[in-house]
Amino acid sequence: MHILVSAASRHGATAAIADTVAETLRRFGHRVDVRQPEWVGSITGYDAIVLGSAVYAGRWRAAARLMARRIQKEVAPDVPVWLFSSGPVGNAGEADGACTDAEVACKRIHARGHRVFPGVLWRSQLSMVERAVVSVARAEEGDHRDWPAIELWATDIANELAVRAAGGATPVAADG
């Protein structure tokens, strides 16, 4: 299958998650394009879509939100979509807030699921404003990404695609 993996990242942590998802899907024989959301125009020709975003102050990055809105009318009901957020870093921010934009996107493009993955925080990469925000939030510096969990999630997607290809597609729930 031809799959689009797209993720909005500011400091690169989420982009690397997208790369790992893409690599895992390729291992199952899929043709996978990785594109930044701002560069995604038409999604015609894709058999499945994975869209992710870093979370800042409880919001998805604008590029991911806009992509979900842009492709809303184009996503056919039989094209499965999965979403992910890269966010929590220790006590940083509101991990639950991560889901607000993702929930909206879930409904817009009838995603089959949304997964939150822990992210990365290196103070040396941040702007002064960002440093002030994470100080208040008492974020834990470090790379909190869970690579086995990311690969497992992508493997679950590959398995679901295999079931669909074998004719076992289940209808998407109306409430996303």
Residues that bind ligand FMN (CB under 6 A): 9-15, 54-58, 86-89, 92-95, 97-98, 119-121, 126, 130, 133-134
Query: Containing H/E element for 107?
Result: helix 98-108
Q: Min. distance of Cβ 66 from ligand FMN in angstroms?
A: 16
96/63 Cα distance (integer angstroms): 20
CA-to-CA dists, residue 146 to 38, 119, 134, 143, angstroms:
26, 9, 21, 9
30/7 Cα distance (integer angstroms): 18
Q: Min. distance of Cβ 141 from ligand FMN in angstroms?
A: 10
* Smaller CB separation from ligand FMN, 89 or 161: 89
* Smaller CB separation from ligand FMN, 58 or 113: 58
Tokens of 167: 């004719």
Q: Min. distance of Cβ 39 from ligand FMN in angstroms?
A: 16
126/105 Cα distance (integer angstroms): 27
Q: Min. distance of Cβ 142 from ligand FMN in angstroms?
A: 10
**110 φ/ψ sector (left φ>0, alpha ψ -120 to 50, else beta):** left
* Smaller CB separation from ligand FMN, 34 or 133: 133
